[in-house]
Each structure stands twice: as C-alpha cells, then as structure tokens.
Amino acid sequence: MIDHLLSLNWWMIIVLFIFVFYPIVGGIFWIVAGAFYHFLSKGRFPDFPEDITPKKQPFVTIMLPCHNEEVVLQNTLYYLTQQIDYDNYEILAISDGSTDTTNEILRAELQHSQKLRVINVEKNAGKAHALTQAALHAKGEFLLCIDADSFVTGESVKKMLAWFLVDSLFSNAAEVGAVTGNPTPRNRSSLLGKLQFVEYNSIIGLTKRAQSMIGRLFTVSGVCVMYRKSALIDVGFYDQRKITEDIAVSWRLQLGGWRIQYAPNARCYMQVPEDIKTLYKQRRRWAQGGFEVFLDNAIRVIFNPLRTFPQLVLLMDSFVSIMWAIFWAISSLFTVGLIVWEAVHQQYNALFIFIMINLIFIAFEFVVGIIQLTTSLVFNDSDRSTYRYIFFAGWYTWLYWLISPITLIAAIPRAFKSMFSDGGGTWVSPVRDADHEPAENGNQTTNKVMTTAKEVKEPILSDAEMNKKVIFDLFFDKKGKLTPGIIMFRVKQIAGTLIVWIVTLAPIVIIAREMIFYLTGKHKPSLYYKEVPKLFENFLTSTVITVGIVGIVTIAFNFYREYLLTSKTHTSNFDETHQDIADKKDLLEFHFQGVLGLPDERTEKRWIDIIPENNIGKDEIDVLYEKLGEDSEKM
C-alpha cells in the first residue's frame, strides 16, 4: 500500500489533477466559501455608531494619489466633496511628478474647498512613495486611499469606518488594520468594460468574500481601501520597492498580526481600461506585484506555519496559480502539437475524443463560471440592473481568462529582475476617458467636466440615483440619438457574444444527448462518443467530492475564526506584539522632525512641496525600525 502511494503514477495523477482542475476547484471553493460568508454575514455587518455626533466623528484623511490626471480630477473632487455622507474629513491630493495641468487644477480647487490640501512631489517616484509621503502628512487616524479616477459616495466612509470601531462577527475592532471597499467599473460601453464588470463582480468580489472566511485576504483593492494609521506606522508604511503597493502592504499588515476586512456594502465607482494594451500592462503589473510578494514572503511563511497560518493557505494558492500558469503554457503547446499530429496521421477518432475531453473540461469550467458570476451578482445586491451582464459571461470562459496566465508568465522575469535591482520605480496613469454626465432622458451624453467643488453640499444621491448618474454604458451617441454607428457597435457586440454562447453550449448539448442515450439504454452511444459518458461521470463525481471537501474546509476555517475571536491568549498576544507602536511613532517624529517639520506645521499646510531635502526614501523607515528592534533586544 505504501509503495503504491509513493509510486510515480499516483503522484503524477495528483499533480495533473491539481493543475488541470485548478480553475474548476478554485471556482468551487470561491462559490461555497463565498456563499457561506454571504449567509453568515447577512444583516450582521458592523454599523457606524449612531451616537457619534459629527464633531466627535473620527477624523479621516482621503489620500488621492495623482499622476497626470487632468481629465478626471475635477470630477473626482466633486464627488468627494459633494456626495459623501460624512463631515469630519480632509482630502489630501498627492501630485506625483505630474506634467499636465493637474497642479493647476489643484491650485484652483484650493481656493474653493477648505477640505483640500495638496502635496506636490517634484519627481515621480511611484505610488507607494507618494502614499508614504501623504501618510506622514495626514491629519487623520484613518486614511482612505482612493485612485484619482475613482470615488466613494453616500455612507461608504461610515461603512468602512464601522469595522475599526465596532467588534464584528469576523474580528475584534482593535485588530483591524485595513478595510477594503467594493469597486465597480463605471465605463461599460466596450466589450472589455463589460467583461471587467463581470470579473469584478464574480472573480474579485466573490474571492474576497471567500478569503474572508479563511480569515486573510490576499490583497486589498488599492483603488479603494481605508487604513488605520497606527497600523501603517507599525509595519513601516508602504513597501516602496514593490510595484504593487496594495498587495505588499496587505501582506505586511497581516503578517504583522493585523486583520483586513472586506466591506462589500462600501461601493467605489472606478474607471477600467478599455483597450487590450492598457489592460495587459495593468494585469502584468498586478501579476508582477503578486509574484514579488510571493518571493519576498515564501520563506518566512513556510518556516513559521503555525505563526503565519492561515496566510500559509494564500501562499499555497499563489504557488499553485503560478505553477498552473506555467503548466497551462506547456500543455497548450502540447495540445496544439497533438492535434496537428493526429490530423496529419488521420487519427480522426482519437482526435475527436481528445477534442471532446477538452470541450467537457471547458463546459464544466463554463458552468462553474456562470454559477460563480450569478451567485456573486445576487450577493452584490446594490444594483439589480447588473444581471444583464451575465449575457457577456461566455467571453470570459473562452478568451478573457487567458489574460491571467499570459500576464503572469510575462511578469515572472520582470519580478526576478526587480528583486536584483532597486525595485519600485515610477508609475504611469492609463489613458482616461472624460467623465460623462447623463442627459435629461437618462442616457449618457457629453464629456463635460464637473464644475469646481463647492463648500455647500448638494443633496446626497441614493445608490440607485448614483448608479444612473455615473454608470456609462453607451446606448446612444453624445447627443442622445440612436445613430447607425451606435447600432453597428451594439450589433457587433451581440453577434459576437451569441457566437461564443453557441460554441460554448454545443459540447454541453452533445454531452447531454449522449448521457441520455447512455442512461436510458435506448441505444448505445455512437463510436465517436463512446468515451464521453464515462468521462462525464468521472468529472461529475470529482466535482461532488470537491464540493464536499470545500464545505468541510470552510466550516473548519469558520470554527478557527470564532476561536480566535474568543481566545484571551490571542488577544494578549496581539496587544503584546503591538505595544511598541507608540515608540515607533515617537521615533518617526524625532528622526524626521528636521525634514518634515513639526506635526502641527505639516498637517496644517495647504500646499506642500516634496523635494530631495524633505523626501522620505525607500529604506529610511525600515532602517529606523531595524535599529529600534536592535535597541529593544539589547535592553
């Protein structure tokens, strides 16, 4: 028996199962764990305390990193000043080496909004660098980071703050270091825009729900996340050597003992890339950032499994996804080669069965993907009109998902290069679309930029009103007319999508037909399909077993999470681990006083220029903390 278990064939089967079925097994886990999270948390999210008056509200700094954002900046400032149901906050915009009219816009806005302050970084040094400068100059104890093409509205600030102030089903309030919001794409006219909406609401949204059941998130959404400032001080702020500051700081916080929570009811409206080139660059950067963090933390997590658990689960998932991408590239070349060989040698029967095996796999993946999307849209109950985007889900199964393995493979050498170089670097904002205001008939029309922010707030719009105002899905031209060009635009999208559905559903229909023949015994399956029923039955059995295992694992993680919430030992360890935050804060103030000025001075300045003389570089904070640790050990 032992010899059998250790045989090469057995382990080869396991390896192949992991790599071949990884997308399906992963999808099933996100569905089961995400559903568990949804029903467990329904109506049980922490609420912002009603007894806190506006004057006693915790002060929040909205950090707005900008690099050449002239197209969208005024619109973002409008929503951040007019449509947030919160009083005690400031907006700290960071112009990171902008060369367009971003600085001129910010100077003009300073004259109209007392909530706005500006940090002008002379030289573009990357988003992590810009956010570190902002955190050191921020007044607030809570820091809300928003991208320049994005904004939150309504009670989103309160919904995120509640996790820091009120104990919840998922964590003690004092342990929460960050809360990530729920971003949704606004520009959905193009097919890419629609597919990214599908992705954010199925893959990304459901993944964060499922990871919340594990108790750890792989990353916050950098486009919309609120941090506890003392937690950032504790971990040394952002890692300026990493290309993705959000992934890096997420691991820093969680390995430092802090919890990250997901607030699906805190909506953030964002723009997404609408051309392949821009999307590819964005996803390659994400993949590189994830791989950098994997390389940076793998040894620490593996050799301290008990201390870093359940971060170990995320590390294993990251490792499997990397290996699967490599396996996918190799197996794709093998598949193409085998198809060509069998076609040349006229092995049509074997060729057809081989193609059917692949189509059955795709069909299973498609079904899992549709279930994943549908359940996630049901859980995202803030906008029921989004159900219509299920129509475009077929593209995801056939083409869109290829972006992930392709960009990951392209990112691996770049990540290794970054490891052996200085890392970090500058950032370039993608091409932005000017924001579109709705016409009186509700259809999106002009590219008119919002007027300058005013001090007198306008009425706060409801979620439904906000969705109608900011979601851009072109049905008419800029004058509200249905033109031949717009008709052809829609016809191409719909026709292409229908073809994708037909190609996707065809193997499902064939499989269903053969299974009916197989089960009813009316007549034997044809020669070409004789292997299909048996193969389908194996797939189905494997899926049922996987769902059962995932359910048991999810329940186990739930018990583990509940144990931590009630464990006095865990609470004592957290307090002991973070007792030196005050020392770190004093050290930062003392060391950087000559560079940044006194706290009261730097938090009151309306316009701050960051030049080499007052710039906080990549290594300075980490070096300080290492020295503090060495001094503590000597004592």
> Tens digit of pLDDT for each residue in 344-386?
887 777 777 777 777 777 777 777 777 877 777 777 765 566 6
Structure tokens at 162: 């509640």
More confident residue, 575 or 177: 177
Q: For the residues 495-501, what does the mean pLDDT come to?
A: 79
**Nearest of 190, 226, 206, 208 to residue 84 by alpha carbon:** 226
Q: Partners of 84 in the beta sheet?
A: 154
Q: Partners of 261 in the beta sheet?
A: 179
pLDDT at 240 over 90: no
- Determine the pLDDT at residue 576: 62
- Determine the pLDDT at residue 350: 75
Distances from the Cα of 535 to the Cα of 4, 363, 398, angstroms: 24, 13, 21
**Nearest of 245, 261, 175, 176 to residue 211 by alpha carbon:** 261
SS3 461: coil
CA distance 236 to 214: 25
Contact 239, 298 (CB under 8 A): no
pLDDT at 226 over 90: yes
Structure tokens at 485: 């060009």
Q: For the residues 518-545, what does the mean pLDDT come to?
A: 61
CA distance 446 to 436: 5
Confidence of residue 556 (pLDDT cuts 50, 70, 90): confident
Amino acid at 463: D
Per-residue b/e over 421-433, b at no fewer than 16 CB within 10 Å? eebbeebebbebb
Q: Is residue 137 part of a domain?
A: no
Q: Which residue has the tokens 């764990």?
A: 33
127-137 and 245-255 helices cross at what angle (nearest 10)? 60
Instruction: Give me the DSSP letters along 395-414.
Output: HHHHTGGGHHHHHHHHHHHH
Distances from the Cα of 150 to the Cα of 71, 186, 199, 397, 478, angstroms: 12, 9, 18, 28, 22
Contact 290, 250 (CB under 8 A): no
CA distance 43 to 167: 14
Distances from the Cα of 403 to the Cα of 66, 110, 275, 282, 286, angstroms: 27, 41, 13, 11, 11
Question: 3-state DSSP: the chain helix, strand, coil percent, rounded to 5?
Answer: 60, 10, 30
581-596 and 620-634 helices cross at what angle (nearest 10)? 140
Q: Which residue has the tokens 């590219």?
A: 447
Contact 261, 44 (CB under 8 A): no
SS3 97: coil
Q: For the residues 32-36, what does the mean pLDDT come to?
A: 84
Confidence of residue 62 (pLDDT cuts 50, 70, 90): very high
SS3 514: helix
Amino acid at 149: D
Residues in the chain: 635
- Determine the pLDDT at residue 635: 44
Q: Which residue has the tokens 């890392």?
A: 423
Residue 54 CB contacts under 8 Å (≥ 6 apart), including other chains: 87, 88
* Exposure on the CB side of residue 630, measured as CA atoms within 13 A: 6
pLDDT at 4 over 50: no
pLDDT at 387 over 90: no
Q: Partners of 93 in the beta sheet?
A: 64, 118
Confidence of residue 436 (pLDDT cuts 50, 70, 90): very low
Q: Which residue has the tokens 């030992």?
A: 569
More confident residue, 339 or 94: 94
pLDDT at 71 over 60: yes
Radius of gyration for the chain, computed over Cα atoms and rounded to the nearest angstrom = 26
For residue 290, the tally of other CB atoms under 10 A from its CB is: 24
pLDDT at 620 over 50: yes
Confidence of residue 131 (pLDDT cuts 50, 70, 90): very high
Q: Is residue 382 part of a domain?
A: yes
pLDDT at 438 over 50: no
Peptide bond into 310 cis (omega under 30): yes
Residue 222 CB contacts under 8 Å (≥ 6 apart), including other chains: 127, 145, 147, 244, 245, 246
CA distance 476 to 467: 17
Domain that holds residue 594: 30-58+157-420+472-604
CA distance 562 to 273: 40
pTM (2 decimals)? 0.85
Q: For the residues 232-248, what does the mean pLDDT come to?
A: 89
- Determine the pLDDT at residue 444: 38
Q: Is residue 626 part of a domain?
A: no
Helix (H) or strand (E) holding 589: helix 581-596
More confident residue, 218 or 551: 218
Q: Is residue 290 part of a domain?
A: yes
The phi, psi pair for 461, rounded to 5°, reads: -80, 150
Helix (H) or strand (E) holding 177: strand 176-185
CA distance 492 to 500: 12
pLDDT at 150 over 70: yes
Q: Is residue 315 part of a domain?
A: yes
Q: For the residues 502-523, what does the mean pLDDT come to?
A: 68
Structure tokens at 209: 């729900």
Amino acid at 80: L
Q: Is residue 597 part of a domain?
A: yes
More confident residue, 253 or 543: 253
pLDDT at 13 over 60: no
Domains in the chain: how many in total?
Answer: 1
Q: How far is C-alpha 246 from the geometric centre of its chain's CA atoms?
A: 9
